[in-house]
């Protein structure tokens, strides 16, 4: 049976129909700048096709979780699961034909890429018996299949790009139909975009994006200007599932809404100047958060609960015993002070093992944290009790050459470092350790390694950045030496050679990729 999805109306006020079976065989690319109606289009497609085909939505902003209540999608909170768990959940999603939304909003960009890659890998690697047709919608696809390296690690980019390539290039035989949406065609990997045979192009303004859109639609370059004039919610459609010729259309209405919605004008309240001054400068009790995130639930538990409801319709379930006859759950074990001290000692040992790797200073925080958790599991230690923010602080202290001792002076240094930006905390602690021990000032190479770079030039620029903002004060000595003072602590390092470690193989002046600190 041929199924047509009503996407809206054409300029001639005819129905704009998308052939769902053809889409499953040929894939779809949606492009449009922010505000062009791209998310609205995806929501229309998901809502209209939900009764006909299983769906998985890769959602980096948590915008599609509202589908759950109306259409029964299970929301998988990525920040509540490891990569291995997400891969297992994806395999069960295919096995039991459950539609899901993978919510990635609780993760940073690199962890989003890793989580999406793990989930897509689980869908792709499912057993042949479970290769049922499935629509896989990926919003902001340029985040998961970037055309060039960015600030994330090469490893994360490779696994994410590989998963997206598998989805678009090899997914069809496994029943996976990719629907990818992007704000910038120029930022999307070409080998991923080229696998789509259907296109919906919305409003865009940059010449390079308009040129790529025109090329994909088979239009002449001079016709590309039309993409600037498209209104919100208007797209140009082309492809075997849509139209054999470029077809302007207007996307229809949707039943659900995203959590954020569209921005609207809201005039500020009329408040007297003195009252406004009191409101913002007077310290009051902490206000409750405006938005309290729903506690993450286990996606596996949601899937099993849904399956249980389905089985209940076919057969009667055993009657549960009265509530007063149910056995009480065993009490949660309480960690004794001795056990806590032993765990902390094990953390220090594992952290030293992680940092013993010569490449550790140059690896992303997420990779080091994963290495830490794996080593903890190998020792039978619960590494998850050290959350990522606490791991970051302890890692910075360990790199500076200090453990978690009870030295009041060092505790003062860590307290001051906690008020600074995360990127400069390791360098501040490195300088504080040298000042506290009154050892020679760390070299530019030492500073660069503390911030995860091999570029001594970056180390110098970072020190300049910190000095301009009053975090440090540099004093020159004889023979091209320097000492660095920390005004917040009243400490100063001994004189040291900034050009030491020339034999370490670090570049002397070359700019570092992703350098966040520029003088001035």
Query: Which strand ranges, in their side-by-side order, compose the sheet holding 473-477?
Result: 473-477, 481-486, 491-492
pTM: 0.53
Residues 108, 21: Cα–Cα separation, whole Å:
36
In a domain, residue 235? The reply is: yes
- Categorize the per-residue pLDDT at 504 as very low, low, confident or very high, splitting at 50, 70 and 90: very low
In a domain, residue 199? The reply is: yes
In a domain, residue 388? The reply is: no
Q: pLDDT (tens digit, 9 = 90+) per residue, 251-296? A: 999 988 876 655 566 677 777 777 777 777 776 665 555 444 444 4
Separation of first and last alpha carbons in the chain? 66
Q: What is the mean pLDDT of residues 347-354?
A: 86
Residues 36, 31: Cα–Cα separation, whole Å:
9
CATH number at residue 110: 3.40.50.300
Burial of 490 (0-12, 13-18, 19+ CB in 10 A): exposed
In a domain, residue 484? The reply is: no
In a domain, residue 360? The reply is: no
pLDDT at 337 over 90: no
pLDDT at 72 over 80: yes
The total domain count for the chain is 1
In a domain, residue 189? The reply is: yes
Residues 216, 194: Cα–Cα separation, whole Å:
8
Residues 293, 289: Cα–Cα separation, whole Å:
10
Could you give phi then psi for residue 320, rounded to 5 degrees? -75, 145
Q: What's residue 341's pLDDT? A: 85
Q: What is the mean pLDDT of residues 298-317?
A: 55
In a domain, residue 169? The reply is: yes
Pairing of the two strands 15-19 and 134-138: unpaired
In a domain, residue 289? The reply is: no
Print the domain residue range for 132. Answer: 4-255
């Amino acid at each position: 049976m041929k199924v047509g999805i009503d996407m809206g109306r054409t300029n001639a006020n005819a129905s704009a129909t998308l052939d769902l079976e053809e889409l499953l065989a040929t894939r779809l690319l949606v492009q449009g700048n922010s505000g062009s109606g791209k998310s609205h289009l995806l929501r229309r497609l998901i809502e209209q096709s939900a009764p006909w085909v299983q769906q998985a939505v890769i959602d980096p902003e948590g915008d599609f979780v509202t589908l759950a209540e109306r259409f029964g999608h299970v929301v998988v909170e990525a920040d509540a699961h490891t990569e291995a768990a997400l891969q297992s959940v994806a395999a069960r999603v295919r096995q039991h034909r459950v539609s899901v939304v993978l919510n990635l909003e609780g993760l940073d960009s690199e962890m989003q890429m890793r989580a999406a890659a793990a989930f897509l890998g689980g869908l792709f690697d499912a057993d042949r018996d479970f290769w049922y047709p499935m629509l896989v919608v990926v919003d902001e696809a340029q985040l998961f299949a970037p055309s060039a390296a960015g600030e994330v690690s090469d490893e994360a980019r490779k696994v994410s790009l590989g998963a997206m390539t598998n989805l678009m290039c090899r997914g069809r035989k496994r029943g996976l139909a990719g629907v990818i949406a992007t704000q910038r065609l120029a930022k999307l990997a070409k080998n991923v975009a080229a696998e789509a045979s259907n296109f919906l192009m919305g409003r865009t303004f940059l010449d390079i994006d308009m040129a790529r859109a025109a090329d994909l639609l088979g239009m002449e370059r001079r016709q590309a200007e039309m993409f600037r004039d498209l209104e919100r919610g208007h797209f140009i459609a082309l492809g075997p599932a849509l139209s054999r010729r470029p077809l302007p259309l207007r996307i229809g209405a949707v039943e659900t809404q995203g959590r954020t919605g569209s921005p609207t004008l809201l005039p500020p309240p009329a408040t007297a100047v003195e009252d406004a001054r009191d409101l913002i400068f007077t310290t009051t009790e902490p206000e409750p958060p405006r938005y309290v995130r729903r506690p993450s639930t286990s996606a596996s538990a949601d899937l099993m609960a849904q399956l249980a409801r389905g089985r209940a319709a076919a057969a009667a379930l055993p009657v549960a015993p009265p509530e007063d006859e149910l056995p009480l759950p065993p009490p949660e074990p309480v960690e004794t002070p001795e056990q806590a001290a032993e765990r902390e000692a094990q953390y220090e040992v594992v952290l030293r093992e992680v940092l013993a790797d010569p490449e550790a200073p140059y690896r992303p925080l997420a990779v080091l944290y994963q290495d830490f958790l794996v080593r903890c599991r190998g020792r039978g230690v619960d590494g998850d009790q050290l959350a990522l923010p606490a791991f970051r602080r302890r890692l910075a202290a360990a790199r500076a050459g200090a453990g978690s001792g009870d030295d009041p002076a060092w505790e003062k240094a860590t307290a001051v470092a906690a008020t600074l930006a995360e990127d400069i905390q390791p360098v501040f602690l490195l300088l504080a350790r040298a000042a506290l021990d009154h050892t020679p000032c760390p070299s530019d190479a030492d500073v660069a390694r503390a911030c995860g770079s091999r570029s001594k030039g970056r180390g110098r620029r970072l020190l300049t950045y910190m000095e301009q903002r009053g975090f440090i004060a540099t004093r020159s000595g004889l023979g091209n030496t320097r000492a660095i003072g920390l005004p917040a602590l009243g400490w100063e390092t001994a004189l040291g050679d900034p050009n030491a470690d020339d034999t370490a193989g670090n570049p002397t002046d070359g700019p570092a990729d992703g350098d966040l600190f520029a003088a001035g």
